[in-house]
Structure 1
Amino acid sequence: MHALDDRAEPFRFDYRPPAVRYGTGAVAALDSELAALDVSNALVVAGTTTGTTPAVIDPVRDGLGDRLGAVFAETTPEKRVATALAGARRYDGLGADGIVALGGGSSLDVAKAIRALVVHDDRMGAVASFAETGRLPVPEDLPPFVVVPTTLAGADLSLGAGLTATPENGHVDTPVDGGVSAPQLMPDAAVYDPELVATTPESVLCASAMNGFDKGVESLYARAATPITDGTAARGLQLLREGLPTLRGAEGGEPDYGRAVRGTILVQYGIARPEGSTLALIHAFGHGLTAHSAIQQGAAHGVIAPHALEFLFEHADCRRALLADALGVAAGTDPADGVVDAVAAVRDALGLPTRLRDVADVSRDDLPAIAATTAEDGLVENVPANVPVGADALERVLEASW
């Protein structure tokens, strides 16, 4: 075991989590979760594939029983404002009294926007505000909200969501890439069922898993880390480093979806709080890359994470001993080198790209613009002191990943 960081700085941990239900077949209990929230007529928000695939939607329908009002299976990876408005209209027409979000990050994000829009007296005014500021305003009193994730990205225990609009899809004159964020957007309940996660295509699941895995990594080195998130993230990383390499059925073994789901719950537990997040440089790079490319964010993390960690360790300690312990780095190994190797090993086991040059729509000439976008991301504020986060420094990380 490496000598662990035992910081004694004061901290404040204001976290308002949902009820968490986990287990094989857990969606069978959706009826009781909605009953606890006094929801009798729920709108299920899902993707165009997830919401129409029997292996996914049928167990959810069965679990909801008479509390299912309708399925709105229209979300897409673009997370469009227009989709959220259509979902709000469907909610109205149904006379719904709650929302169930089913699927990956895109569906959960659009569902959060629908949740905010259904209580706006002036929805088009809210959309106009989004067009101007990139932020969708969020009223205080929101309808009950239950999330049923089918990926491992960790978008479920979250206060925010991404949202886009383009002139082609209406409501804006120029493209807007923004979002919605407020403490009251945290779900009321989260239901995790490994059987549903197992229905997700392998390539999608593995990319999402890297995104979730990096939440645990960042929670340990970010400025906003607390002893509470240290505990959940470290245990979550242990489960993920054991479970994620099984997802592709390597060497004929069975994928350990349960271990992967439990690890994902833990690494994100407590990281999204009203006073801030523990996400930092890797996620900022993920945002920068996806702003300039169609690459999935988890795949972007796979390329950038080892190089971002090398850069961080070059300039600061970044709690490398704690990270090394959580990632099972052998005693006697240099902690920084061991952490980088452990993260790269998980990335490789998930079958994700290792170089930016292998991403179809990224050229070397794009790197300065990606670095500039990353430097402007709010998450760089969570990077430890003494680590340079200007565009020039971050471009060097991108060059190393090229």
Structure 2
Amino acid sequence: MSAQIILPRILQVGDGASQAAPDILLSLNCSRPLIITDTIMVELGYVDRLRDALSAQQISADVFADTIPEPTVGSIMAGVERVRAGNYDSIVALGGGSPIDSAKAIAILGKHGGSMRDYKFPRVVNEPGLPIIAIPTTAGTGSEATRFTIITDESNDEKMLCVGLGFMPVAALVDYSLTLSLPARTTADTGIDALTHAMEAYVSRKANAYSDSQALAAMRLIGPHLRRAYHDGGDTEAREAMMLGATLAGVAFSNASVALVHGMSRPIGAFFHVPHGLSNAMLLPSVTAFSVPSAPERYADCARAIGVANLDDSTEAANRKLLAELVTLNDELQVPTPQQFGIDYDQFMSVTEEMAIQAINSGSPGNNPRVPTHDEIVNLYQALWIV
């Protein structure tokens, strides 16, 4: 059976790749971009640097810097109105996963109208929005190379998964030099997010030969370099490996799928405002332990790719090493439990049923090697308070 592979039309990778934005806009016959970013990118001077590069090619760009972490319907609407009121022919998305996800939603709503809920999965959005050039500044979400965006509906605390070719950036400029200023906490959370993308793409029921190749390559880059980037943000070799690994992991899950970790992670983020990579990290050890019996060889491959198991290790031994590594990694990268993050026990337990419903409705748990029941998801949520 064949697999359809969807990628950005242009993928430019390496030190200084972000400076190619003006030439790429001109090659697309675009001359009036809106830069969608956040206030941190403005404060760091990245936005001014980008605007200067555009100005040198006589491209004038306005800036919308009001995106927020874990974007919501409300947070994107000002950007949608900005697009509708302006004469923009393209969007340059600069930042982590949240600005890029926001830009994807704004590009579709700004061009086609409607509400965000109209574009929620299971609808597949293949109609193009404004063309997006994505410039990631974290090594985590892979959003620059995926056909997904996630927007929270504040009315019911639901993270809506939106899927389709319309959300794929036309170009992705993957410049690891933009990650050198990342703090350790962000490096850890986004790095485990990328690792989760690669692992889930590889064990997914929708995996294919192409996604497998990208997922394994991503794990081989992320496994040896995540700790290095966390402990020394100026380690350029580690930063470059993490940036490429995150993009390859994005390519992998965009062309396969994510699974149970992501299905359960989104509701935690929506209800308790836990950053997406961090909620993935909280869940990864226990969900992996739950899933290993249904795909032991696949998880053993993950252990070997990450570098914690040897080729001559048995499947069982490799999986023991993988599960131990995920716990050790969380400890070393100081991933908090829900309680340590500050979530109230009674409040968390009161919404586990609703979170399980939202997780199942997202479709992601159905891609897991071991497809969980509603009650099993509730039990996995509750078990987070035991670890």
TM over 0.5: yes
CA distance in structure 1 between the partners assigned to 2:313 and 2:134 by the alignment: 43
Verify: 1:377 aligned to 2:356, yes or no: no
Alignment RMSD: 2.8
Question: 2:35: which partner in 1?
Answer: 44
CA 67–137 in structure 1, closer or farther in 2 if over 3 Å, else same: farther
The Cα of 1:215 is off from its aligned counterpart by: 0.4
Q: 1:302 is matched by which residue type in structure 2?
A: A
Q: Flag the 1:91–1:352 CA change in 2: closer, same or farther, 3 A.
A: same
What is the aligned-residue identity percentage? 23
1:298 correspondence with 2:290: no
Alignment match, 1:309? 288
C-alpha displacement of 1:252: 9.7
Relative to its length, the structure with more helix (as a share) is: 2
TM-score (norm 1): 0.84
Match status 1:102 vs 2:94: yes
Q: Is residue 294–residue 361 contact of structure 1 (8 Å, CA) maintained in 2?
A: no
> Does the C-alpha gap of structure 1 residues 94 and 48 become closer, same or farther in structure 2, counting only changes over 3 Å?
same
Q: Secondary structure at the match of 2:135?
A: strand
Q: Give the deviation of 1:322 after TM superposition.
A: 1.7
Distance verdict in 2 for CA 1:186–1:139, change over 3 Å = closer
Equivalent residues of 1:18, 1:157 under 8 A apart: no
Mapped to 2, the partners of 1:365 and 1:155 lie a distance apart of: 31
Query: Which residue of 52, 57, 63 corresponds with 1:62?
Result: 52
Q: How many residues are matched? A: 375
Distance 1:18 1:210, change over 3 A: farther
* One-letter amino acid of the structure 2 residue matched with residue 320 of structure 1: Y
Q: Are 2:237 and 1:263 equivalent residues in the alignment?
A: no
Quote the residue 1:393 is aligned against: 376
CA change 1:178–1:375 in 2 (3 A) is closer
Q: Give the CA deviation at 1:27.
A: 1.6
Q: In the aligned structure 1, how far is the partner of 2:371 from the partner of 2:125?
A: 34
- 8 Å contact kept, 2:157–2:270: no
CA distances 1:216-269 after superposition (whole Å, capped 9, x unpaired)? 011111111111111111111111011211123259966721111011111121
Distance 1:79 1:93, change over 3 A: same
Query: Once the two structures are superposed, what CA deviation does each residue of 1:187-219 show, in whole Å capped at 9, x if it has no partner?
Result: 100001112122333322321221111000111
Query: Out of 137, 140, 149, which is 1:161 matched to?
Result: 149
For residue 167 of structure 2, what is the amino acid of its counterpart? Answer: L
Q: State the match for 1:119 in structure 2.
A: 111
Alpha-carbon distance, 1:335 to partner: 1.8
Q: Aligned pair 1:246/2:207, yes or no?
A: no
Task: Assess if the C-alpha contact under 8 Å between 1:69 and 1:96 holds in 2.
Answer: no
5+ residue gaps, structure 2: none
Could you say which residue in structure 2 is the equivalent of 1:5? none
> Residues 54 and 61 of structure 2 are in contact (CA less than 8 Å); yes or no, is this contact kept in structure 1?
no
The equivalent of 1:7 in structure 2 is none
Q: Give the CA deviation at 1:130.
A: 2.6
Is the 8 Å Cα contact of residues 27 and 59 (structure 1) preserved in structure 2? Answer: no
| 2:217 corresponds to 1:225 | no
Local SS of the residue matching 1:279: coil
Displacement after TM superposition at 1:132 (Å): 11
| Deviation of the 1:184 alpha carbon | 2.1
Q: CA deviation at 1:271?
A: 2.3
Contact 2:159 2:267 in 1 (8 A): no
**Alpha-carbon distance in structure 2 between the residues aligned to 1:182 and 1:23:** 27
Q: Give the whole-Å Cα distance in 2 for the aligned partners of 1:397 and 1:379.
A: 15
Secondary structure (helix, strand or coil) at the match of 2:31 reads coil
1:332 aligns with 2:313: yes
Counterpart position of 1:35? 26
Q: Is the 8 A contact 1:18 1:186 kept in 2?
A: no
More displaced stretch, 206-215 vs 242-251: 242-251
Correspondences of 1:80-91 after superposition (within 5 Å): 80-91=72-83
Distance change (3 Å), C-alpha of 1:253 and 1:80: closer
Is 1:76 aligned to 2:59, yes or no?
A: no
State the TM-score, normalizing by the size of structure 2: 0.87
Q: How does 1:209-220 map to 2 (within 5 A)?
A: 209-220=191-202
Deviation at 1:117, TM superposition (A): 1.9
CA contact (8 A) 1:153 1:210 kept: no
Q: Map 1:346-361 to 2 at 5 A.
A: 346-353=329-336, 355-361=337-343
Deviation at 1:356, TM superposition (A): 3.2
- 2:202·2:212 contact (CA, 8 Å) conserved in 1? yes
CA 305–133 in structure 1, closer or farther in 2 if over 3 Å, else same: closer
Which of 175, 180, 186 pairs up with 2:162?
180
**Are residues 241 and 81 of structure 1, via their aligned partners in 2, closer, same or farther at CA, if it must alter by over 3 Å?**
same
Residue 139 of structure 1, CA deviation: 7.4
Shift of 1:31: 0.8
SS of the residue 1:20 aligns to: strand
TM-superposed CA distance for 1:13, in Å, is 3.1
Moved more, 39-48 or 356-365: 356-365
